[in-house]
Amino acid sequence: MKKDILDFKIVNYLEFTDRFKTDQDCSDYLWQLKWGNGYNCERFGSTEQYKGHNASYIRCKSCGHDASPTSNTIFHKLKFSLLKSFHICYRVSVHKKGVSSTSLSDELGLRQKTCWAFKRKIQEAMKSTGSAPLTGDVDVDECAIGGKDTGSQGRNKGDKKLFSIAVEILGEGKMGRAYGVGIVDYSAKELEKIFDKHISIGAAITTDGWTGYMPLQNKWNIQHEKNTILFCPFHFCLEYKCTTQCNFNNC
């Protein structure tokens, strides 16, 4: 029976545990993700197939290759249960402040090194390729990372590093995807880098009103609001609180 594909980030723990009770539940879910819209042989490209050596496998009629739901995924040839791997995925994806491998080890009865290695796999898989531009409502801001420098005022950067940041604004003021680009100054030429690289041409863009954005209005749909819900707390977070563990939704 076909089931809906879940987004772990919007599913609570009770819903998750109700959906995934066994290794077979997890295997069925991967099967649906991989072949729900049709089968293509990983080696030969053929769409003709029949049952493989067990119920979850598919065998190509052309080359006889058996494919499993986990092949070419982070779950392939795991040394521990698929169900436990799903639990690790769930915890990594929903805990905004991160989850330690020691905590995972205690909860799931796995070695800490095993949890650490699989957690790293998940984090690598979750990295953005940067190839999907931001769409819809997008707020753009520029900032200097490194805190205040003595004697530096306004947009004088001192020894700080400059960045341009773009964030998708979702419903109810929530933040979606975000990209950052290093810049050398606040000129229109530098500020446009993040527009060209990471923002859809049809996006509705809001900035803080800095004059460097004015020349970009000929190409981009830009409005300027100096007191949006984003710029005060977001800019403060970037400039004075940002760490490698920071998640914009926590700000």
Residue 121 pairs in a beta bridge with none
Chain-centroid distance of CA 217 in Å reads: 29
Domain borders along the chain are: 137-250
- In the chain, the amino acid numbered 76 is H
pLDDT in tens, 119-160: 999 888 877 666 778 888 999 988 887 755 555 555 565 677
Q: Looking at residue 104, what is its pLDDT?
A: 95
pLDDT of 182 over the 50 cut: yes
pLDDT of 97 over the 50 cut: yes
Q: Looking at residue 93, what is its pLDDT?
A: 82
- CA dihedral sign of residues 164, 209, 146, 134: negative
Q: How far apart are CA 72 and CA 83, in angstroms?
A: 18
Report, as an integer, the average pLDDT of 81-95. 91
